[in-house]
């Protein structure tokens, strides 16, 4: 068998046919008494400051673009995204595959560079999102509108249902991983170092970039854009697109999100079969994260890759899907 054939066909561990199906939207009723919205002003001001870097980046792009620094920022953005998609999402949140210690450390470092909270809290919120999807207990409930699902949920205090019902979600497995525990204990200094300082210093040292360009473009602007590309999954992929696997849930397949999120936009499939390591029926098509996991499998760092049997997918499409 050729190397290219191997990269297309890793051995995968089928999901159990007895695995519970994704809970439908109607499984949890919305609260009748809406609590008062409490704004988190420190987050709001931080976002305003962060987005100002985009204005500077756009100005430089149309005047005197620092192409090498922009290319470096793009590379760092894609690398850190793998820490979220292959790491916090598919490995730690859904246990869709297992990883040896070197790979877990590598993914934790990339996830820290992404600056999207520590692994434990990221996974806790994501598991709550799946269990109580699009109810008041969903941290980024799309029924509260595009802006709330996109980034507004980070600008206000959590709905009481998120906290109360979220306590029923077991996350004890995460704390058994020493990598997760270490990152959680030292997340703030690690995030400042990995997310802002190192990406800003490298352009200054290696190609004499100006301090302002390095910090605002490779540091802040790259971070801001990376956040928005992740947030698109919570907002756009829950509002626009088709639902070929389960029409009873809000998650959708959105081609544009697929492109910019390195494979996370097959969202109707993912919410229907959350433990599939590929998060897609189409395997590696437009799915850089799946390709990365496959490479890690072949070099012995990833194992026990879970996939959904074709028969189970077809049966589910017949029962709850809509191919229109």
Q: What is the pLDDT of residues 203-239, one digit of tens each?
A: 999 999 999 999 999 999 999 999 999 999 999 999 9
Q: What percent of the chain is modeled with pLDDT above 70?
A: 89
User: Cα separation of 19 and 14, whole Å?
Assistant: 11
Residue 281 lies in a domain: yes
* Residues 155-182: tens digit of each pLDDT: 999 999 999 998 999 999 999 999 999 9
Residue 87 lies in a domain: yes
List, in order, residues 6 or more apart from 33 with CB less than 8 Å away. none
Mean pLDDT lowest among 8-22, 45-59, 199-213, 228-242: 8-22
Q: Is 275 within 8 Å of 97 (Cβ atoms)?
A: no
The whole domain housing 252 covers 3-15+37-320
Residue 311 lies in a domain: yes
Tokens of residue 250, six digits: 């809000």
Alpha helices in the chain (DSSP H): 3-8, 41-63, 67-82, 101-114, 119-131, 146-150, 160-166, 178-185, 187-191, 198-207, 211-213, 222-234, 255-260, 267-272, 288-298, 310-320
Residue 31 lies in a domain: no
* Residues 73-106: tens digit of each pLDDT: 999 999 999 999 999 999 999 999 999 999 999 9
Residue 28 lies in a domain: no
Residue 24 lies in a domain: no
**Strand, coil or helix: 244:** coil
Q: What percent of the chain is modeled with pLDDT above 90?
A: 80
Residue 22 lies in a domain: no
pLDDT bracket for residue 58 (50, 70, 90): confident
pLDDT bracket for residue 17 (50, 70, 90): very low
How many structural domains comprise the chain? 1
DSSP label at residue 156 = B
* Residues 262-307: tens digit of each pLDDT: 999 999 999 999 999 999 987 657 899 999 999 999 999 999 999 9
Q: Cα 279 to the chain's mean position, in Å?
A: 12
DSSP label at residue 19 = S
Query: What angle, 0 to 180 degrees and rounded to 10, lies between the N-to-C axes of helices 101-114 and 119-131?
Result: 80
Residue 108 lies in a domain: yes
Of 262, 260, 218, give the one whose Cα is nearest residue 72. Answer: 218
User: Cα separation of 216 and 50, whole Å?
Assistant: 9
Positive or negative: CA dihedral 318, 320, 321, 322:
positive
Task: Name the one residue in this structure whose structure tokens are 């919120």.
Answer: 125
- Residue 17, number of CB atoms within 10 A of its CB: 10
User: Cα separation of 5 and 229, whole Å?
Assistant: 31
């Amino acid at each position: 068998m050729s190397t290219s054939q191997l990269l297309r066909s890793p051995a995968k561990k089928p999901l159990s046919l007895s695995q519970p199906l994704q809970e439908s939207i109607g499984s949890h009723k919305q609260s009748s008494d809406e609590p008062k919205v409490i704004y988190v002003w420190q987050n709001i001001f931080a976002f305003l400051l962060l987005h100002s870097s985009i204005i500077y980046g756009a100005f430089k792009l149309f005047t005197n673009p620092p192409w090498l620094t922009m290319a470096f920022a793009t590379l760092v953005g894609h690398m850190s995204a793998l820490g979220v998609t292959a790491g916090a999402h598919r490995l730690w949140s859904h246990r869709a595959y297992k990883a040896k210690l070197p790979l877990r450390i590598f993914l934790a470092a990339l996830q820290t560079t992404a600056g999207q909270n520590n692994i434990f809290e990221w996974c806790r919120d994501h598991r709550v999102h799946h269990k109580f999807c699009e109810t008041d207990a969903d941290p980024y409930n799309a029924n509260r509108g595009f802006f709330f699902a996109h980034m507004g949920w980070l600008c206000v205090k959590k709905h009481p249902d998120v906290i109360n019902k979220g306590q029923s979600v077991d996350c004890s497995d995460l704390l058994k991983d020493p990598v997760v525990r270490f990152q959680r204990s030292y997340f703030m200094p690690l995030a400042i170092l990995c997310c802002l300082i190192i990406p800003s210093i490298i352009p200054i040292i290696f190609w004499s970039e100006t301090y302002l360009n390095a910090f605002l473009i490779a540091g802040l602007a790259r971070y801001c854009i990376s956040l928005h590309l992740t947030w698109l999954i919570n907002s756009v992929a829950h509002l626009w697109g088709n639902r070929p696997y389960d029409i009873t849930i809000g998650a959708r397949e959105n081609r544009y999100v697929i492109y910019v999120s390195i494979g996370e936009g097959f969202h109707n499939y993912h919410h229907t079969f959350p433990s599939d390591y590929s998060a897609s029926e189409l395997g590696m098509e437009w799915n850089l994260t799946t390709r990365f996991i496959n490479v890690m499998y072949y070099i012995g760092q990833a194992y026990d890759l879970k996939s959904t049997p074709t028969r189970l997918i077809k049966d589910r499409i017949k029962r709850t899907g809509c191919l229109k």
